[in-house]
Structure 1
Amino acid sequence: MFVKQRRHQIKERLLRERSVKVADLVKQFSVSEETIRRDLHELEREGIARKDYGGAMLARDLETVAVPVPPVHHRAQHFTEEKERIAEAAARLVGPGQIVVMDAGSTTWCLAKHLGGIDGLTVLTNGLNVAEQCSSNENAQVFVIGGKLVRGSMSLVGSQAETELRKYNADIAFLGASGISANRGFGSFDLYEAEMKKAMVAAGRQVVILADHSKFERQALISFAAFQDVDVLITSDLVDSRLLRAVEQAGVRTIVCPLERRLGEEA
């Protein structure tokens, strides 16, 4: 078993059971105690575990995180005007002949709808919803990164998909985020999707996060990028300006989309 696969499984066990013992993991994976301790040290460095005598426990700030996430087709119906404005702004960053990588989020799906008029575009995605939408552009090449299907998000994940993604270099990586926090950066609620997002961050010459206002000050389960890993954040003026200033001070350029009316107000 590869190191990454073993650590994935340890993460899953930590999330499920809240604690693990070195002796149990040694038996489960048939490796040395020293190897497991290195794994736990790395998970502690990632902010997922906190080591204790004989094993590790789930990090304190993850203990109360709610994991369930609505299916992507349900999320696409939330904050639709805001996501459309964010997607329009993101599309303006893309030029003819460029290579872009996109994940399977609801906001990146909105972005895909606005890329139809760009000639010579190449799209790499692990999202079946994004690939289907991009297929309407006859001048675009669409490559689907294969892997295990996550039905709720219609995304393809896993070590096979991550390995395939490493073959490519993209001009821009467009990613959604489940949560944005000052101490953990940009995060996802899904362990495997977080790993895919990390691979996409590595593949993009420029990294752009698309996030509606609900994602701010929200604690996600797994961090996939720190502020220094991201070039641009596109959001709306529904976000508290103090939060945006904090992101900008961390070195991220922000593009703030004005809305014609505030969400939840009468037109």
Structure 2
Amino acid sequence: MIVAERRKFIKELLIKNKSVKVSDLVELLHVSEETIRRDLLQLEKDGIAEKNYGGAMLIEDASNLPVILPVGERKLQYSREKDLIGKVAAQLVKDGQTIILDAGSTTWYVAKNLPDNTNLTVITNAMNIAEECSNDETASIYLLGGKLRRKTMSLIGPQVETELKKYSADFVFLGTSGISLRQGFTSSDLYEAEIKRGMVTAGQKIVVVADHSKLEKAGLTTFCKFEETDIFITSDLTDKTLIKEIEKKGVEVIIAPVSKETLA
């Protein structure tokens, strides 16, 4: 069992039982106490658990929130689907345009699939996305400055929000923690939500990219309403009824063709 799967398993046990013991997890998962303690420490940093002697307890507000894994692990979840969504999104971009890329695993796949030698201007608050885009020597890359959030390798804070006011982009590409027909596109992190809102105000076209697992999940706060969104890109694994409801709200939905057999 890989790290992401093990921590998801522990989180689900926490939600079900409200607490876990290190000794029980060692027996269930066949790993060392040190490994379990590292897992619990990370879940504590993620705001899901509170460590105590011999185990951990669920933080009350965490039971309804989606788990936000480190961006490197999230890239592995539904990786084939995200890659195809990224390819579709990248095809929107034309030579010489200015784009803003939000920090996230699906937006990283947008960056990965951007065309080379097209003299793009790329603005991002994500260190891994800036690194990916740097492979194109014709691209001008602007990394927004702020406090590093290691879990997402993103820069957050008022400095980022201030810098965003200086820019106007042809496209803004945003990831999302969850999508609710009532709330719109949501984030589970208040600080990152503020950055996303700043990006929305800096874009001519707002594009949200998300795999099928994000539908009908609500994060902590809304960063972009449907009426503020121009394009939503997802895959054909997403519930068609929900897609129609989003289209009714005036959002153009583009579907990346994916089948269950092609998913990683």
Please indicate the TM-score interval, normalised by the length of the shorter structure: 0.7 to 0.9
2:159 alignment counterpart: 160
**Structure 1: runs of 5+ lacking an equivalent:** 1-61
Distance 1:118 1:150 in 2: 31
Q: Could you say what secondary structure the match of 1:218 adopts? A: coil
Q: Which amino acid aligns with 1:99?
A: T
Report Cα offsets for 1:230-263 as digits up to 9, x if no partner: 0000000001100000000000000011114446
Deviation at 1:66, TM superposition (A): 2.0
Deviation at 1:68, TM superposition (A): 4.2
1:70 alignment counterpart: 69
2:93 alignment counterpart: 94
Distance 1:63 1:258 in 2: 34
Deviation at 1:86, TM superposition (A): 0.3
2:114 alignment counterpart: 115
1:190 alignment counterpart: 189
2:240 alignment counterpart: 241
| Residue pair 2:148, 2:154 contacting (<8 A) in 1 also | yes
| Residue 129 (structure 1) aligned with residue 125 (structure 2) | no
Distance 2:118 2:78 in 1: 29
Q: Which amino acid aligns with 1:129?
A: N
Q: Which runs of 4+ in 1 moved over 3 A?
A: 260-265
Distance 1:86 1:213 in 2: 10
Q: Could you say what secondary structure the match of 2:68 adopts? A: coil
| Residue pair 1:233, 1:252 contacting (<8 A) in 2 also | yes
Deviation at 1:65, TM superposition (A): 2.8
Map 1:209-224 to 2 at 5 A. Answer: 209-224=208-223
Q: Percent identity?
A: 47
| Residue pair 1:95, 1:118 contacting (<8 A) in 2 also | no
Deviation at 1:118, TM superposition (A): 4.4
| Residue pair 1:100, 1:124 contacting (<8 A) in 2 also | yes
2:50 alignment counterpart: none
| Residue pair 2:177, 2:219 contacting (<8 A) in 1 also | yes
Give the 3 Å change call, closer, same or farther, for CA 63–133 of structure 1 in structure 2: closer
Q: How many residues align?
A: 204
Give the 3 Å change call, closer, same or farther, for CA 82–143 of structure 1 in structure 2: same
1:150 alignment counterpart: 149
Distance 2:191 2:167 in 1: 19
TM (normalized to structure 2)? Answer: 0.74
| Residue pair 1:116, 1:136 contacting (<8 A) in 2 also | no
Distance 1:263 1:132 in 2: 27
Distance 2:75 2:99 in 1: 21
Distance 1:213 1:118 in 2: 32
RMSD (CA atoms): 1.6
Deviation at 1:63, TM superposition (A): 7.8
| Residue pair 2:236, 2:259 contacting (<8 A) in 1 also | no
Q: Which amino acid aligns with 2:166?
A: K
| Residue pair 1:65, 1:221 contacting (<8 A) in 2 also | no
Distance 2:243 2:68 in 1: 25
Distance 1:120 1:134 in 2: 11
Distance 1:117 1:264 in 2: 26
Report Cα offsets for 1:142-192 as digits up to 9, x if no partner: 000000110000000111110011100000000000000011100111110
Q: Which amino acid aligns with 1:222?
A: T
1:228 alignment counterpart: 227
Deviation at 1:113, TM superposition (A): 1.1
**Structure 2: runs of 5+ lacking an equivalent:** 1-60
Q: Could you say what secondary structure the match of 1:201 adopts? A: helix
Deviation at 1:64, TM superposition (A): 4.9
1:13 alignment counterpart: none
